[in-house]
């Protein structure tokens, strides 16, 4: 097994390993060590069945079913298909997934530990994915700004995402059902990674509605600054997909973006497994309203 660093802030390519074969404990330990160090691992030239994809993913933890139950697979419910394929005359409901910077599941009470995305079909050009290190973004803040953000929480809201971005190719009835199943949550603006102990920003422009306790107008300035700061080029890695690539990322300290940088008439077909995370945050609806200020 060989490890080649791909970018300054995050990203490494792993070669010399066939993910179709069961892995011994030593190899899994070395891969997890590399994952924690580089945040994004790229395994090129893999020929995986869905069952092999699931088996390899389980080396790193329990798999979750997608928080939006309407997107869960039927044959392999652990796999989310992200594709623009047309089936029965209809475009897939995941055709426009990931068009803005986001962290998977940040608007849930168990944000995923990580994701493993496998490429089955790719357009002739484009179809890339950007990743950003939220460690690097936090570390680059001034000490005074760290003191400020360390104490703040944010409201993460699936309804805000659909309200600001639209539903794309999704069925409106299914969208309303998903929003009802996933009410807004309050999460820390800065999280501490449970394995590395490092601090990371935990905000993203897709699902972060506002800073908890502030109005949207009050929090917009700080959030917009953090969104732009967190995606500075020196904090990012852009992956140029090839069929057979499997990429896994640490969702606890990264965010990612899948730009619309390809011909929509060409097929892009990705399959994702997701590692179940640990409980974090609380429902906004369960927090008592603050008492009125005395007159």
Among the ranges given (46-50, 81-85, 227-231), the one the predictor scored with the smallest mean pLDDT: 81-85
Average pLDDT of the residues of the chain? 93
Number of domains in the chain: 1
Query: Is 294 within the bounds of a domain?
Result: no
Task: Tell me whether residue 291 is in a domain.
Answer: no
Give the residue among 107, 94, 103, 104 at the shortest CA–CA distance from 168: 94
Beta bridge partners of 191: 200
Q: Are 119 and 262 in contact (CB under 8 A)?
A: no
- By C-alpha distance, which of 164, 98, 155 is closest to 131? 98
Give the separation between CA 28 and CA 92, rounded to whole angstroms: 34
Q: Is 273 helix (H, G, I), strand (E, B) or coil?
A: strand
Q: What is the pLDDT of residues 112-163, one digit of tens each?
A: 999 999 999 999 999 999 999 999 999 999 999 999 999 999 999 999 988 8
266: left (phi over 0), alpha (psi -120 to 50) or beta: beta
pLDDT score for 116: 98
User: Does residue 295 fall inside a structural domain?
Assistant: no
| Beta-carbon count within 10 A of 132 CB | 28
DSSP of 177-219: HHHHHS--EEEESEEE-TTT--EEE---TTTEEEETTS-HHHH
The answer to whether residue 146 sits within a structural domain is yes
Which of 111, 153, 123, 143 is closest to 253 using CA atoms? 111
pLDDT value of residue 87: 77
- Structural domain range at position 55: 2-284
Q: Is residue 198 part of a domain?
A: yes
Are the CB atoms for 79 and 72 separated by under 8 Å? no
Residue 159 lies in a domain: yes
Label residue 164 by pLDDT band (50, 70, 90).
Answer: confident
Residue 99 domain-assigned?
yes
In a domain, 289, yes or no: no
Exposed/middle/buried for residue 189 (C-beta within 10 Å: 0-12, 13-18, 19+): buried
What CATH code is carried by the domain that includes residue 201? 3.60.130.10
3-state SS, residue 21: coil
pTM, entire model: 0.94
């Amino acid at each position: 097994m060989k490890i080649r660093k791909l970018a300054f802030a995050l990203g490494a390519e792993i070669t010399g390993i066939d993910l179709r074969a069961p892995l011994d404990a030593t190899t899994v330990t070395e891969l997890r060590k590399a994952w924690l160090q580089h945040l994004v691992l790229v395994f090129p030239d893999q020929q995986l069945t869905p069952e092999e994809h699931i088996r390899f993913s389980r080396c790193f933890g329990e798999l979750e079913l997608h928080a939006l139950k309407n997107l869960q697979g039927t044959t392999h419910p652990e796999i989310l298909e992200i594709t623009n394929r047309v089936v029965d005359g209809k475009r897939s409901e995941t055709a426009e997934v990931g068009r803005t910077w986001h962290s998977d599941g940040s608007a849930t009470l168990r944000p995923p530990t990580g994701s493993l995305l496998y490429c089955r079909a790719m357009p002739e050009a484009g179809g890339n994915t950007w990743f950003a290190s939220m460690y690097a973004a936090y570390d680059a803040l001034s000490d005074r700004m760290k003191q400020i953000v360390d104490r703040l929480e944010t409201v993460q809201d699936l309804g805000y995402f659909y309200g600001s971005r639209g539903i794309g190719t999704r069925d409106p009835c299914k969208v309303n059902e998903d929003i009802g199943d996933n009410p807004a949550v309050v999460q820390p603006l800065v999280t501490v990674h449970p394995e590395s102990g490092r601090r990371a920003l935990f905000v993203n422009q897709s699902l972060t509605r506002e800073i908890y306790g502030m109005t949207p107008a009050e929090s917009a300035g700080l959030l917009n600054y953090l969104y732009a700061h967190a995606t500075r080029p020196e904090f990012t890695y852009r992956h140029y997909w090839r069929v057979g690539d499997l990429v896994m990322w640490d969702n606890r300290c990264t965010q990612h973006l899948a730009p619309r940088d390809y011909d929509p008439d060409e097929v892009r077909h990705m399959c994702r497994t997701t590692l179940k995370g640990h409980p974090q945050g609380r429902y906004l609806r369960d927090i008592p309203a603050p008492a009125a200020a005395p007159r």
